Amino acid sequence: MMPLKVTCKGVKKHFGEGTARVDALRGVDLEVEQGELLLLMGPSGSGKTTLISVIAGILTQDEGDCFLDGINLNRMPDLEKTMYRGKKVGFVFQAFNLIPSLTVMENVAIPLLLNGVDRKEAMQKATTILEQVGIPEKVHAYPPQLSGGQQQRVAIARAIIHDPELIVCDEPTSFLDHATGIKIMELLHSITTQKHMTLIVVTHDVRIMKYADKIANLEDGRIVNSQL
């Protein structure tokens, strides 16, 4: 497995029309090298979540191109794009997006099940991943029974279980206290380094800047500067 390189060129995205139109992205150029940890920072409403959603193939841009190792994900047919994303990309949502009626183990196993992995094998791997993220005792618990930090660990486990080459995280420390936030970021950094993944993290949290290989600042839909 090789980490993905991400290249965005002139990416634009708007929502609504007429007087309700909002230009979320106004021509974004961005490069993330293989195996890099990029922090994407900027004020609320600057387009950060929109940009990572385009990169991950969840949203389709209006103009411009976004390449994952030279592949233009959003120019693929929908089924092909869904299959590619299901194998190559992991997404950690800000609100976790765990299914409350499923156990922690079942939530984590979802990407494998969607990729056709045998249920028994998927559950075994989910158990192993939950050990790696530090909550092996929660395999049979349900998301509402967990703390915010534990739910975040489950979301991370679900994002990495299928060994994606790109992980995209939306505010992974936003609901967490300082100590838990640092632990989550250390966990993400450790896992993506060990597994040779590219990692893009949207954050307002200046406390985690030390983990970045690169920092890109987004304001009003444009990258205003990048720092190595």
pLDDT tens string 99-141 = 999 999 999 999 999 889 999 999 999 999 999 888 999 999 9
For residue 228, the model assigns a pLDDT of 54
Sheet of 37-41, strand order: 89-92, 166-170, 198-202, 37-41, 214-219, 222-227
Looking at the domain assignment, is residue 165 inside a domain? yes
Looking at the domain assignment, is residue 1 inside a domain? no
pLDDT tens string 129-178 = 999 888 999 999 999 999 988 998 999 999 999 999 999 999 888 777 88
Domain that holds residue 136: 6-15+23-227
Looking at the domain assignment, is residue 196 inside a domain? yes
For residue 2, the model assigns a pLDDT of 74
Looking at the domain assignment, is residue 45 inside a domain? yes
For residue 220, the model assigns a pLDDT of 92
Helix (H, G, I), strand (E, B) or coil at 1: coil
Q: Residue 77 is encoded by which pair of tokens?
A: 């047919």
Q: DSSP characters for 43-86?
A: -TTSSHHHHHHHHTTSS--SEEEEEETTEEGGGS-HHHHHHHHH
Q: 194 falls in which pLDDT band (50, 70, 90)?
A: confident
What are the phi and psi torsion angles at 8 (to 5°)?
-115, 135
Looking at the domain assignment, is residue 32 inside a domain? yes
Q: Are 48 and 220 in contact (CB under 8 A)?
A: no
- How confident is the model over 80-107, as a mean pLDDT? 91
Looking at the domain assignment, is residue 38 inside a domain? yes
Domain harbouring 52, CATH code? 3.40.50.300
State how many domains the chain has.
1
pLDDT tens string 49-58 = 999 999 999 9
- pTM score, two decimals? 0.91
Looking at the domain assignment, is residue 199 inside a domain? yes
Looking at the domain assignment, is residue 118 inside a domain? yes
Q: 188 falls in which pLDDT band (50, 70, 90)?
A: confident
Between strands 37-41 and 198-202, the pairing is: parallel
For residue 1, the model assigns a pLDDT of 64
Report which of 148, 138, 211, 203 is spatially closest to residue 177, judged by C-alpha positions: 148
- CA 178 to CA 208: how far, in whole Å? 10
For residue 215, the model assigns a pLDDT of 95
